[in-house]
Homo-oligomer: A and B are copies of this chain.
Amino acid sequence: MTLFLSKTLNKIDNKSRVSVPSTFRSALKNQSFNGIIAFPSYSDRCIDSCGINRMELIAQNLDETENYSKAEFDLISLCFGEAEKLPFDKEGRIILPKNLIEHSGIKDEALFVGLGPTFQIWEPKTFDQNKILTLKKAKEKNLKPRLKPIPKGV
């Protein structure tokens, strides 16, 4: 299974190129497209990313499931339009499209954050602010990190 872990901070040059951390690259090694899929996060000021295999799974599911309302279907469909296929160059870099740079507020550095089956790309400052906010909310609600029981069949 593809697993993205840990954080990496890389620079962006004036052509909007960033090196994808080599650990992430090697996690994607066996997929049918040599690069990443990236789209604006629905809930945060960052870029959501994954490999093509996950995207194919989502597409297939959407195609085969009959229980979506038109409103649901249209909403999910919008995501495919926002998603960008970003191939690696020979050096393992991608080019960040304008719209994703704008959405994330990224300037000259990009923070890659592993989330397991997916990862995110953040403007470092925004990530820090968000982290503080998350911890604050957790404290207010007295939340503690825990594992939920794993559903059967997964």
Which A residues are within 8 Å of any B CB, using their own CB?
Answer: 1, 3-7, 23, 32, 37, 42-43, 48, 52, 54-63, 65, 69-72, 74-85, 113-117, 131, 134-135, 137-138, 141, 143-154
Residue of B nearest to A76 (CB): B145
Contact B134 A74 (CB under 8 A): yes
Residue of B nearest to A57 (CB): B149
Bound Cα distance A34, B119 (Å): 22
- Indicate how many identical chains form the complex: 2
A-B contact pairs, 5 of them (CB 8 A): A1-B59, A60-B117, A74-B137, A75-B145, A80-B115
Bound Cα distance A144, B75 (Å): 8
Q: Which residues of B have CB within 8 Å of A61?
A: 149-150
Q: Which residues of B have CB within 8 Å of A80?
A: 4-5, 113-116
Residue of B nearest to A154 (CB): B151
Q: Which residues of B have CB within 8 Å of A81?
A: 5-7, 113-115
- With both chains docked as a complex, state the minimum distance between the C-beta of A82 and any C-beta of chain B, in angstroms: 8
Contact A84 B150 (CB under 8 A): no
